[in-house]
């Protein structure tokens, strides 16, 4: 049985956690509980699988934390199967510290490898690094997911679940520029240049007005963040962790 938990704590770093869905694949109840608690406190939307079968039956996620020592199937095989199915980010979490095991894990599809025991600061840093690389790779094409919102950069279409979010051309272009910058700050001048192909529209509030309208239509005002005096960025710095479908 897969357990879903969505927890957002106000006092924890959320640049990568907000709206990011993580599948924790771990059969040890004690270890799973500790990881679950620590990740939930950081704001991640968590699914938990105790076995390979549950992991492979889980719905789409942004990141998989995969224990390689599963009871029903070798974790390397599970990693290979997950990679075959798509480009979800995978971090192998294991007690296997031998270099050959680490190399094997990376070769079958893991994006990174962390050896038990480890601290949450290290795991958090590895999650952020993996998701930054994933966003840079995926953000220029395909379907980029920002939590429940999907941005189809090929079809110029934005949806929330099965519902299309109808945006104006400028609103869509602003969102696409932010997505392509993968959570990095985009200045007001950059938006004017990339969306309006100009450095001045005659109205000093043009960008602000369009961003406000975009926020309202997305249904999550905090998804597009204002960096005071600089510009805008996506909260899911990918960071909400966009993923892409091929």
Whichever domain contains 19, its CATH number is 3.40.50.2300
- In this prediction, residues 234-244 reach a mean pLDDT of 51
pTM of the model: 0.55
pLDDT of residue 166: 94
Question: Are residue 102 and residue 183 in the same domain, yes or no?
Answer: no
Q: How far apart are CA 83 and CA 78, in angstroms?
A: 9
- Please give the residue range of the domain that contains residue 23: 3-138
Q: Which two tokens stand for residue 21?
A: 């869905």
Is the predicted pLDDT of residue 241 greater than 80, yes or no?
Answer: no
Residue 90 — very low, low, confident or very high, per pLDDT cuts 50/70/90? very high
User: For 172-226, how does the pLDDT look when each residue is reduced to its tens digit (9 = 90+)?
Assistant: 999 998 988 777 788 888 898 888 887 776 677 889 999 999 999 998 888 999 9
User: For 198-212, how does the pLDDT look when each residue is reduced to its tens digit (9 = 90+)?
Assistant: 777 667 788 999 999
Q: Which two tokens stand for residue 215?
A: 């926020």
Question: Are residue 130 and residue 19 in the same domain, yes or no?
Answer: yes
Distance from first CA to last CA of the chain, Å, rounded?
Answer: 28
Contact, 76 vs 34, CB < 8 A? no
Strands 157-160 and 149-152: antiparallel
* Domain final residue pick, 112, 138, 164: 138
* Domain final residue pick, 82, 113, 138: 138
Q: How far apart are CA 95 and CA 101, in angstroms?
A: 10
Question: Are residue 37 and residue 118 in the same domain, yes or no?
Answer: yes
Question: Are residue 115 and residue 167 in the same domain, yes or no?
Answer: no
Domains identified in the chain, total number: 2
Whichever domain contains 214, its CATH number is 1.10.10.10
């Amino acid at each position: 049985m897969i357990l879903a938990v969505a927890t957002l704590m106000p006092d924890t770093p959320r640049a990568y956690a907000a709206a990011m869905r993580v599948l924790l694949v771990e059969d040890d109840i004690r270890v799973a509980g500790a990881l679950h608690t620590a990740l939930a406190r950081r704001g991640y939307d968590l699914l938990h699988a105790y076995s390979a079968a549950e992991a492979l039956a889980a719905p789409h996620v942004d990141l998989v934390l995969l224990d390689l020592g599963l009871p029903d199937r070798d974790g390397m095989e599970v990693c290979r199967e997950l990679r075959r199915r798509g480009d979800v980010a995978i971090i192998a979490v294991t007690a296997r510290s031998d270099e050959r095991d680490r190399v094997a894990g990376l070769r079958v599809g893991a994006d990174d490898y962390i050896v038990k025991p480890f601290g949450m600061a290290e795991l958090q840093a590895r999650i952020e690094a993996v998701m930054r690389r994933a966003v840079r790779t995926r953000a220029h094409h395909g379907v980029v997911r920002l939590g429940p919102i999907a941005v189809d950069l090929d079809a110029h279409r934005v949806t929330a679940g099965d519902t299309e979010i109808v945006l104006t051309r400028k609103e869509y272009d602003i969102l696409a520029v932010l997505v392509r910058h993968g959570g990095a700050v985009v200045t007001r001048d950059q938006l004017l240049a990339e969306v309006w192909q100009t450095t001045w529209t005659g109205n000093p509030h043009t960008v602000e007005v369009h961003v406000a309208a975009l926020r309202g239509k997305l249904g999550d005002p905090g998804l597009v963040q204002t960096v005071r005096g600089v510009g805008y960025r996506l909260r899911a710095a990918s960071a909400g962790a966009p993923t892409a479908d091929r």
